Amino acid sequence: MRDPVFAALTAQIAAVERTLPHERIADIVTVSFRQLPVARRTLDLVTATPRLLTAADPRTPPALASLLLRLHEAGARTVQPPGCAQCGAQRKLLQVTTTGRICAPCVRRFAARTGRCDRCGQTRRLQAGPGETAYCKRCWVDMKADASDRIIDEVRRHRRVAAAIIRHALTQMAAAGRDRRVRLLLELRVHGEDWFAEPATGSVLFGTFYDLLHQQGARLPERRCGGCGTTRTLTERVEGRVSCRRCYRIAHHSPCDSCGDVTNLERLLSDGRRICQRCTNKLPDENAVCVRCGNHRLIAYRSPDGPLCSTCRGSSQLDTCTVCGAITACLFHGSAKAICKPCSDEASVDICTICGNERQCRWPGTARAACEQCSNPREPCVSCGEIRLRHRRAEDGSGYLCWACVAPIIETCTSCGDDRIVNGRIEGRPFCPLCYPRQPESFRPCTNCGTVTRLIAKLCPRCRADQMIREMIPDDLAASDTRIAHLRERWFQGAPSKIIHAFERGTVACTLITLVLTDPTLRTHAYLDQAGSEYQTRAVRSVLIDHEMLPPRDELLARFELWLPDVLAEIPDPGERRTVTQYARWRHLRALRRNTMPPAPGNCPGDGSRSWGSSSSSHGSIPEEAPSHP
């Protein structure tokens, strides 16, 4: 299923071209455009000026010129690619002149100049070197003979790098493309000292050579972005320094022609206006019916099968993980980067450069690694002045508003008819928070198993419950004890709604159960008594007793034993406190222990010589005292 823009552009060309079949034209159109906005502008241009398909005009825009050249190379004869403005040859045009674009040979012919060679001193046609230098072709060829040895000398003059590493790097450069050793030698002579001291200022050729030296084991610092200092892919240049794509985009922020915000401009419209990403998302052609879930949403990715929304694009499907090799639900399925969720989480763990904690981070492995908490910037709200998470930019562009200061969208709900906050829209119709989750159109495919239902954190209830269970009892912990494995299996068999309701709040019990199961020395009643209140530890204690990881005990007796010392300590008069103590121990505790505890070996039921010390030590009660009469 091709995009409608490609289909319309194919129809425009097929109406003119009679040699190539329609299917072949469609394939070339699809391959020629990596970005849909470029294809859309090309379609608008062809629709407005169809003569460009056959005029061979050197002023044709590059995107359309590249498409026409591909068609011509495939055998098209009606449509004509633009010819060079100088020689008229129909080839790739590189440089813009006043009369139109010109090809590479014409570019070199115009760039060549006649003058005095800086090496031999003869007046000949020259080729520009680094800086203000220029050399004739004969000297250029002569310098190529011993360029490798001279490059080794130049590098070793600035840094201690083994000659074998330098030769291997030069061999790799020659194998990857044209032999440019002479230019590299000339650049090292002029700029070698400065560029080795600050690699970000070096040329593209020097950067390639420097990276190869570093990869071969040379003791050189890694080349970093001249703006943010990261080691990500460096493809751009800002103010003479190599830069990552992010810093390049920030350096080229401009006012949006639609909303006026100074930001990165994402799209050039056919009328010449340039707009930001937020305004681009509001355009009608940026929304379509997702081919996977069938909902009309903002399109995040246009796959070969059709447009996909952000939820379906990020969903996991069965594939082979490229890290662990397991066949399971993977992100980026169907590509060479398929990876399962556990491997993805493990790869994202790094030390946050802001707070210093080891957590799952954005941009792991770089100098900008930051955890989720530190990645969300907090700024003063322009409305209330509180330092909070920013939610939306103010309409006047003065700053950001927090969540509390952004006015909610209130409309009449399509289902219940009440004027309430809009929680979601279905085909443009608003629904309130109570009615939207009940609509079948609001269901989404689970990112793990693909089940279309009401999702919880992008997962269906069954997958969400299983995820919470595995977070509390990981696989390695379950494998360490058969009782723990049996406990986890019983949880897997439970109702997903009850499991989510029990675990979703992250209570003390949820943290305590994992801690107690991990450390066997903590599986005691005494530890649970001090780990939290009776309400917080009741469920944990019950689970451990049911699975024979904790001995049973009388909870009423234990509760009374823990309560009694605190109550007695509140009695100020020593005589009264002694009387109440004797009464509580010799009446209530004696009765409770007689009714709930089995007799000690060798003692008869009801015998006054019963071993109190053994019973009290097993239950953590307070020590006994001999009765005394007032």
Tens digits of per-residue pLDDT, 63-86?
899 999 999 998 888 999 999 988
Joined together, the tokens standing for residue 615 give 């019973």
Question: In which band, very low, low, confident or very high, does the pLDDT at 7 lie, cut at 50, 70 and 90?
Answer: confident
Residue 275 bridge partners (DSSP): 267
Helices (H), 413-533: 461-472, 475-479, 482-492, 496-503, 508-518, 525-531
Least confident of 337-341, 362-366, 579-583, 621-625: 621-625
Q: CA 366 to CA 611: how far, in whole Å?
A: 66
Name, in order, each residue with C-beta under 8 angstroms of 276's C-beta and a sequence gap of 6 or more: 256, 258, 259, 261, 263, 264, 265, 266
pLDDT at 412 over 90: yes
The pLDDT of residue 164 = 92
- The percentage of residues in the chain with a pLDDT greater than 90, rounded to a whole number, is 12
CA dihedral 424, 426, 430, 431 (to 10 degrees): -60
| Listed residue (591, 581, 592) closest to 628, CA to CA | 581
Is 67 within 8 Å of 28 (Cβ atoms)? yes
Q: Would you give the distance in Å from CA 18 to the centre of its chain? A: 47
Average confidence (pLDDT) over 564-569: 82
pLDDT band for position 506 (50/70/90)?
low
pLDDT tens for 91-128 read 888 888 888 888 888 887 777 778 888 889 888 888 88
pLDDT in tens, 427-455: 778 999 899 888 888 887 787 787 888 88
Euclidean distance between CA atoms 521 and 437, whole angstroms:
46
Residue 39: its pLDDT value, please?
85
Per-residue pLDDT at 458 = 78
pLDDT of the residue at 419? 92
Q: Which of 158-162, 315-319, 321-325 has the lowest mean pLDDT?
A: 315-319
14-28, 33-47, 604-618: which has the minimum mean pLDDT? 604-618
CB atoms within 10 A of CB 28: 19
Is the pLDDT at 607 greater than 60, yes or no?
Answer: no
Confidence of residue 602 (pLDDT cuts 50, 70, 90): very low
- 413 pLDDT band (50/70/90 cuts)? very high
> CA-CA distance, 294 to 288, in Å (whole number)?
9
As a whole-number percent, the residues of the chain with pLDDT over 70 amount to 92
Q: What is the pLDDT of residue 619?
A: 35
Which pLDDT score is estimated for 213? 92
Q: Report CA Rg, the chain.
A: 37
Higher local confidence (pLDDT), 363 or 17: 17
pLDDT at 150: 92
List the beta bridge partners of residue 262.
255
What digits encode the pLDDT tens for the residues 340-356?
878 888 888 888 888 88
CB-based contact 104:94 (threshold 8 Å): yes
pLDDT band at 596 (very low <50, low <70, confident <90, very high): low
Dihedral pair phi/psi, residue 350, rounded to 5°: -155, 175
pTM, rounded to two decimals: 0.52
| Matching residue, tokens 């997702």 | 290
Which pLDDT score is estimated for 432?
92
The one-letter amino acid code at 427 reads: E
